Amino acid sequence: MFVDRNLVQRMKDQYPPGTRIELDFMGDDPRPIAPGTKGTVRIVDDMGTVHCDFDNGRRLGLIPGEDSFHAITERTRSDRDAR
């Protein structure tokens, strides 16, 4: 299997540990996680899989190109209250 090292490094740079993500769509998985579920990145491995701890208690690796997700910034409660 060919692994694009540049793509893997971009994924590691874009999704460092602790990054909050939101799932848009999960590809072919027998027990998919619902769209809109949020989670926290644990690690991006050397294959480019983004391993996450989801807020619903699941732990799963997301595969770029198979699963769709994006980084989010969550405003703190005090930021929301200041509006």
Taking only the tens place, the pLDDT of each residue in 32-72 is 899 999 999 999 999 999 999 999 999 999 999 899 999 99
Return the pLDDT at 27.
83
Helix (H) or strand (E) holding 81: helix 77-81
Residue 65 carries which DSSP code? T
Domains annotated on the chain, with CATH: 5-81 (2.30.30.100)
Rounded Cα distance, 23 and 2, in Å: 26
Distances (CA, A) of 40 to 3, 6, 61, 73, 83: 24, 23, 11, 11, 26
> pLDDT-based confidence at 77, cuts 50/70/90?
very low
Helix (H, G, I), strand (E, B) or coil at 8: helix
Structure confidence at residue 75 as a pLDDT band (50, 70, 90): low
Does position 81 have pLDDT exceeding 90, yes or no? no
Q: What pLDDT sits at residue 46? A: 94
Predicted pLDDT of residue 23: 97
